[in-house]
Structures are given as C-alpha cells and as structure tokens.
Structure 1
Amino acid sequence: MMYNQVKKILSILTIFVSTSMSCFGQNSDSEINLIQEIFGLEKTEMLSELLGDVNDEFWSTYKEYEEKRMALGKERLALIRSYSEAYDSLTDEKIDQLLKDIQTQSKNTENLINQYTKKIKKVSGSKVAAQFYQLETYLLAAVRVKIMEITPIIGELDPQY
C-alpha cells in the first residue's frame, strides 16, 4: 500500500520538476506551494498509515518539521532552476557555486531530518522516531533519484563543455 503512495508522490514531483526545468520563470510561488502541499498531504497520509495512533505532540512537531522542510524544498527548486537557466553558459565559477550551494542544501536537509528525529524521539519514543527517519530518508533518496533522472549531466546536452 505504501509503495503506491510513494509512486504517487514521485509522479507528482516528476511532473513538477520536469515542467519547472522546461518552463523556468513560469512557475509561480502559488504553484510551488500547491505541489508542496500535495506532497506534504501524501506524506502525512503515509505516516498516519505507518504509525497508527500517535500523540498530538508528534503531529505538532511534525508540522513544525514540514514547514522547515518545505522551505528547504523551495531552495532545492531554486537551485534546479539556477542550474537549468545557466546550463547553456556554465562557467567553472558558476559550476563551483552551484556545487557548493547544492552540497549545503543537501547537508541542511539531512541535518533537519536528524534534528527532528531527536525531537520526535523525545515526544513519541524511539520506534516512532525511527519510523519517521526511515520514511523521510527513503523519500529524500527517491526524490533525489527522480531529480537526477531528469536533470542532464553537465556537458550531456552540449558535448563542447
């Protein structure tokens, strides 16, 4: 059952990222917010199914986490946009900056998951925290793979680089 929900989330994300990469500047903040809201609702449904009954403190902490995760998601989309917009004219300096920004964004995302795993453990116990961690890291890896599948490698579209 959960596998189908993951596939649904990744399909939504793939459509959004593909559209974003082909139509930069045309995705409004409201469109980004809508996609993030749908993604978040699907994740919440998956967590509810996985965890069963959990205390209100968990959901309060999870909501706080989701708000911060969405902000980092917007940063990731901005980096994808920046890469796509600069793809035809990438310089070593631009590549260095993008690489630095991507690594920082990735580190911040993983730090956020780790930080909230600890918070969730305090309010809901080790099992719930571990389940949260497993689901979040799984989805993060799946999202990263999907993004990489549709993102051209530097020089792939222009063998001159």
Structure 2
Amino acid sequence: MAAQVWPLLAVVGLFQLAGVGWWLWSGDAGPALLAWWVCEPAVLGLVGSFTLHESAHVLALRRVRTVTRVAIERTAWRTSVIPEGTMTGREAAGVAAAGPLACVLAGLLLWLPDLDRALAWWYLAHLVFLAPCFGDGRALFGALRRRAGE
C-alpha cells in the first residue's frame, strides 16, 4: 500500500521533518504540530485504514483452501486483491465483508475509549464500501445471490 501512495508519504514526511527541525532549532513547536495534523490523517487514517482493509481481505482469502493464489492489482486510484481459484457463496461473502468490517472494528476501538475520534472516522467510513456501488458491496451481494442458489 505504501508503494501506491509514496508521493503522499514523502510530502507529509518532509513536512513533518521540517516542522520538527524548526522546533529543535527555534523552540517553536507550532510548525511541528501543524505538520502532525496533516501527517496523522494521511498516514494513520488514509494509508492505515486501506492497508488494514486490503490485509483483512488477504487474511480471509488465505483461509479459503480452494483459493490457490492471491494477486495484487494496482491502478492509479486503487489497490485490490484478486483471488485465483474457487469460493462458495458463503466464502466469497466473508471475504468481501472482511475488509470493511476489520476497519469498522478498528474504528470502534478508536472511538469507544475516545482515543482519537477524528482518526476513528477514517476507519468507520469503510462501512460505505459494503454498498453495492463499490467493489466489496458488489462482491458481497453477488455472493449472497449465489449462496441463495446453492
């Protein structure tokens, strides 16, 4: 995932480094705090949540014995896992739901003890990927239809 968004990570990393450098040199922590306010959602929110999302799909796929290989497909706008092999409707539904639900669980863990509610929203927002207009939602509803016919 980091390879997909390395320019973003490089920019926010340099911004954070410059802020900390200024803090060490001048004693003024303002730029370092500003850089963290940009860095945290970019790295922990955006990149972290999508890394967890796709990793959960891969972990779920590894439990399906009839999936022989998992390929990673990267485009300019997305990273997806593509399984090779066969799955039952139940297995496919579980794999489709695994990514968004892992993020929702992480979001709830951040939300409930009030650790970082702003960061929690990045993870909770993954629930939308279960809507039929997104890949996970299409796969989930297709698997449920297939399962109904099994």
- TM interval, shorter chain, is 0.3 to 0.5
Higher RCO, 1 or 2 (CA under 8 Å, sep at least 6)? 1
TM-score by length of 1: 0.37
Q: Which has the higher Rg, Structure 1 or Structure 2?
A: 2
Pick the structure with more helix per residue. 1
